[in-house]
Chains A and B, each alone.
Chain A
């Protein structure tokens, strides 16, 4: 059974701090990794995608991928109350299924003003 796990929440950080969200996956063949943000009562919204080992930065968001450790993380710098949401990690189903992903259970983030 292929699995995607995320650090259990809820995670609370003060405004302006760095929020660190972690995700591990079981399928060594996975090639595509995604972070989605989901506000309460809304649909998931893509924040970042990463396909190669290392860091990828987009504004206040940085995704980090380490395929050897089967680990992907999302850092949110200068956290804002508007970042309060559930963050979903998604990983594609290995080398034979690039267009199907498995979602983790999500980590709830609360940014305290």
Chain B
């Protein structure tokens, strides 16, 4: 089992460019999450999906959109990147069967110039 996978690992964008971060899990989890982590700020929830077909805003959703393509995949899109979106992005998944313990992907380090 690969667990949670994310692509790409690194990305550099120019202000105004768009991109999609991909996430997939093979643990048959219902809930999936996108977080960003900035120095001194901890992990902040951008969006989450409680099940296939549903998404909900988290603490910092502005500038992002998400798609829960199916049970396995949850993508995060930046439509017009801004320097303030420079961060490390983590995808995670969990399920009630595991007490909602979250398992994280390796992260995407994004720099917006």
Tally inter-chain residue pairs, CB-CB below 8 A: 50
Q: Which residues of B contact A44 (CB under 8 A)?
A: 43, 90, 102, 104
Contact among B42, B58, B90, B106 for A104, CB-based, below 8 A:
B42
Taking the complex as formed, is B45 at the interface, i.e. its CB lies under 8 A from any CB of chain A? yes
Pair A103/B42 contact, Cβ less than 8 Å: yes
Give which listed residue, A45, A51, A100, A104, contacts B104 with CB less than 8 A: A45
With most chain A CB atoms within 10 A of its CB, the pick from B40, B45, B100, B107 is: B100
Interface residues of B in 26-48 (CB under 8 A from A): 30-31, 33, 35, 40-45, 48
List, in ascending order, chain B residues with CB within 8 A of A43's CB: 90, 104-107
B23 to chain A, nearest CB (A): 12
Contact B103 A32 (CB under 8 A): no
Tell me the residues in window 64-113 of chain B with beta carbons closer than 8 Å to chain A beta carbons: 90, 94, 96, 99-107
